[in-house]
Chains A and B, each alone.
Chain A
Amino acid sequence: MSATAVLTPTVPAAVPAALHAANRPVAKLHSVTKRYGQTTALDNFSLELHPGEVVALLGPNGAGKTTAVRLLLGLISPNAGSVRVLGRDPRDADARTRIGAMLQVSRVPEMLRVREHIDLFRSYYPNPLPAAEVIRIAKLDGIAGKMFGQLSGGQKQRVLFGLAICGNPDLIFLDEPTVGMDIETRRALWDEVRALSAAGKTVLLTTHYLEEADMLANRIVVINKGKLLCEGTSAEIKHRVSGRRIRCITQLDPEFLRTLPSVSDVQQDREAMVILAERPEEVVRTMLVRDATLHGLEVSAAALEDAFLALTSEQ
C-alpha cells in the first residue's frame, strides 16, 4: 500500500553499482502536501518512479494528478515534503534537458507549422532526436507542413506528444495524453508509449481512462482527493475487489441493496444498478424475490473500473 515499501531494496555488495543504481528512483515525491488557497490538492502524497517503468496515475477529475505532474516538472513547489527528479531539484534547468512533458494545453500558437514547432522544441535540447524521427514516432507525416491551427483535436495531441519526445528524454510525463483522440489514434499512441518503455525510458502518465492504465502501466497508482488510495499492478488492484459485478435494471432502493449480505458497493449507472458482491447468487435471489420488474440482468467478473469505483467511493 505505502509507496515507501518499495524503497531501496537491500542489494548485496557484490552486485555491480550499475544494478544498484537501476533500483533507485528516477523521480520521487516524498510526503508532499500542496495547497491552493483553501483546497488541498495533494495530501501527504508519495510516489516513486523507477527506471523503465510505465506508471499510471489514475483518478477522477480533481484528484491531484496534474498537481503531481506539475510538482515533478518543477512548475510549482510543495508546501511540505520533497521532490527529486533525476537526483536533483526539478527546478534545476539542467535536469529538464532529460525530461519531456505533454501537458494539457488548451491552445498552441496556431500560426506555426507542425514542422516549425518541432524544430523550435528540438533546439531546446542538447541531444535531440532527428526531426524526421519525431515525425515518424508521433505519426505526423502528412501534417508536418500544416499550421497548428488547422489540425483536428487528435492531431494536436499527437503534435504535443511529438514535442514531449523531441529531446530524446529519459523521463517522460504525459498528462491525460489521449484526451480528444479517436480509438485508433489512441491505440497508436499506446504503442508508442510501449516502445518508449521498451527503449528503457521511464513514463508517468495520468489518466482517468481505466482501460488506458490497464493496457499500458506496469504499476497503477490510484489517487483521489489528493490522497493515495492504493498502488499495484492492474491485476493486484482488481484483486482488491473480490467478488463479482451484478448489473440490472431494478426499482429496489440502493440503500436497501447496500444492506444485503456480501455487497461491497452499489452504483447507479444511467438506468442500471451496478452491485459488487462477494456472493452474487444470494444477492440476485433476494433481488428477484423483492422486485418482479427486475430485468436486463448480467453477472460478470469485477473489472478494473469496478475496483476503481469501489476504491474512490470508499472515501
Chain B
Amino acid sequence: MATNAIAVSPRTLGFGYYTRIFRKETQYEFVKMLRTKAYSLSVVGFPVMFYLLFGTSNRHNMFARYLMPSYSCMGVVSACLFGIGMGIAMERAQGWLELKQASPMPRLAYLGAKMISCAAFALIIVAALLTLGITLGGVSLTAVEGLKLAGVILAGSVPFTAMGLLVALLVPANAGPGIINLIYLPMSFASGFWMPVKYLPHWLQVIVPALPTYHLGQIALSIFGYAEPGSMLIHWEALAGFTLLMLGAAWIIFTRSEARS
C-alpha cells in the first residue's frame, strides 16, 4: 500500500472515463439549474410572461409572429448570462470551484456542462414560445421554420456563453444579478427584441450594429421574414467575431489572475 503511494504510474485514462464525467457533470448541472427556482423560473418565465402579455394580445397581426423569434433570442441571452456568468461567479466566490479544481475533473467538463445546460434551457424557451405562438397567438408556421429557429438559438448560445465567461471573471458574485440585468435588458430592447429596430429612436439605430444581440436577432428574424434587408452572412461574422473577442478577453483576464494567485 505504502509503495503505491509514492508515484502515480503514468496511465492514460480512457475515453469511457471522460465520457462518464461529462455525462454526470451535465446531468447534475441541469438538475441543479432546474431546481434553482431563481434561475429556472425567471429565465423561462420572463419570455413566456412577456409573450402572454404582448404576443397573444397581438393575435393575428405580425407581432404574434415577430415576438416568437425575438423573445427566443432574449431567452438564450439571459439563460447564458445568468447560467454561465452568475453560475461561475458564485461558485468561484464560495470556494466550490476551487474544490472542483483540486479534483481530477477536467476544466472542460465543468464549462461544457454549464454550456449544454444553458443551451437546453434556451431550447425549452423556444419550445414554450412556439407552442404559445401556435396555440394562443394564432400563428401558423412550418416545422422547418421551428427547427431553424431552434438551430439559430442553439448557435446563439455560443457567443453568449463566451460573454457569460467574461462576466463571471469581471463581476463580483453579489452584484451579479443587478449588473447582468443592466447589460441584457437594454441590449435586448435596443436590438429589436421588443419592436423592430426601424421603430427605435434614430440614435439607437446608429449604435445598434455594435450589439451582438442585434446580429443574433436579425438571423432569428430572417427565418420569419422580418429581418432588415441584406445578407445574413455579415451577422454570422459579427457573432463569430464577438465570440472570439469575449473568449480572448476572458483568457487574458483568467491567465492574469492565475499568475497573481
> Quick one: which of B13, B31, B36, B95 contacts A104, CB cutoff 8 A?
B95
| Chain A window 86-114, contacts with chain B (Cβ cutoff 8 Å), 1 for yes, 0 for no | 11100001111111010111111101100
Q: Which residues of B pack against A, CB within 8 Å?
A: 1-8, 10-11, 13, 17, 20-21, 24-25, 28, 31-32, 35-36, 91, 93-96, 98-99, 101-106, 260-261
Residue pair A106, B94 in contact (C-beta under 8 Å): yes
**Knowing A96-B102, A97-B13 touch, does A87 contact B8 (C-beta < 8 A)?**
yes
CB distance from B109 to the nearest CB of A (A): 9
Question: What chain B residues lie within 8 Å of A111 (beta carbons)?
Answer: 31-32, 35-36
A122-130, A135-143, A285-293: which lies at the interface: A122-130
Residues of A within 8 A of B35 (CB): 111-112, 147
Residues of B within 8 A of A103 (CB): 95, 98-99, 102
A42-B259 Cα distance, complex, nearest whole Å: 17
Min distance, Cβ A292 to any Cβ of chain B, angstroms: 54
B5 with A202: CB separation less than 8 A: yes
Q: Which among B3, B101, B102, B260 is the interface contact of A21 at CB below 8 angstroms?
A: B3
Q: Are B5 and A200 in contact (CB under 8 A)?
A: yes
- Cβ-defined contact, A105 with B94, below 8 A: yes
**Residues from chain A with Cβ under 8 Å of B102 in the complex:** 73-75, 96, 99, 101, 103, 173
**Count of chain A to chain B residue pairs whose CB atoms are closer than 8 Å in the complex:** 121
Q: B7 to A96, Cβ gap below 8 A?
A: no
- Bound: A109/B91 CA distance, A: 8
Q: Chain B's nearest CB lies how many Å from the CB of A276?
A: 38
In the assembled complex, A167 has its CB within 8 A of some CB on chain B: yes
A129 to chain B, nearest CB (A): 14
Residues A123 and B6 in contact, CB atoms below 8 Å apart: no
Cα-based distance from A108 to B94 in the complex (angstroms): 7
Q: Which of A70, A104, A112, A199 contacts B1 (CB 8 A)?
A: A199
Q: 8 Å CB contacts to B: which residues of A119-159?
A: 119-121, 123-126, 147
Instruction: Check A86–B8 contact: CB distance below 8 A.
Output: yes
Task: Find out whether the CB atom of B5 lies under 8 angstroms from the CB atom of A86.
Answer: yes
* Known contacts A51-B2, A76-B261, A124-B105; A105/B36 CB under 8 A: no
> Are A87 and B6 CB-contacts (below 8 A) given A106-B95, A116-B31, A120-B24?
yes
Within 8 A of B (CB), among A57-101: 70, 73-76, 86-88, 93-99, 101
Known contacts: A126-B17, A163-B99. The answer to whether A93 contacts B32 by CB under 8 A is no
Q: Are B5 and A101 in contact (CB under 8 A)?
A: no
Interface string of A193-212 (1 = CB under 8 A from B): 00000011110000000000
Q: A86-B5, A86-B7 are in contact. Are A93 and B104 (CB under 8 A)?
A: yes
Q: A51-B5, A93-B106, A105-B99 are in contact. List 18 more A-B contacts (CB 8 A).
A: A18-B3, A22-B2, A22-B3, A22-B6, A26-B6, A51-B6, A75-B102, A87-B7, A104-B95, A105-B96, A105-B98, A106-B93, A107-B94, A116-B31, A124-B105, A126-B13, A170-B1, A173-B102
A123 and B99 within 8 A (CB): no
Subset of 9 A-B contacts with CB under 8 Å: A70-B98, A86-B8, A87-B8, A88-B8, A94-B11, A103-B95, A111-B35, A124-B104, A170-B5
Q: Does A52 contact B (CB under 8 A)?
A: yes
Task: Select one of B1, B6, B31 contacting A24, CB under 8 A.
Answer: B6
Q: In this assembly, does A266 line the interface, its C-beta being within 8 Å of a C-beta of chain B?
A: no
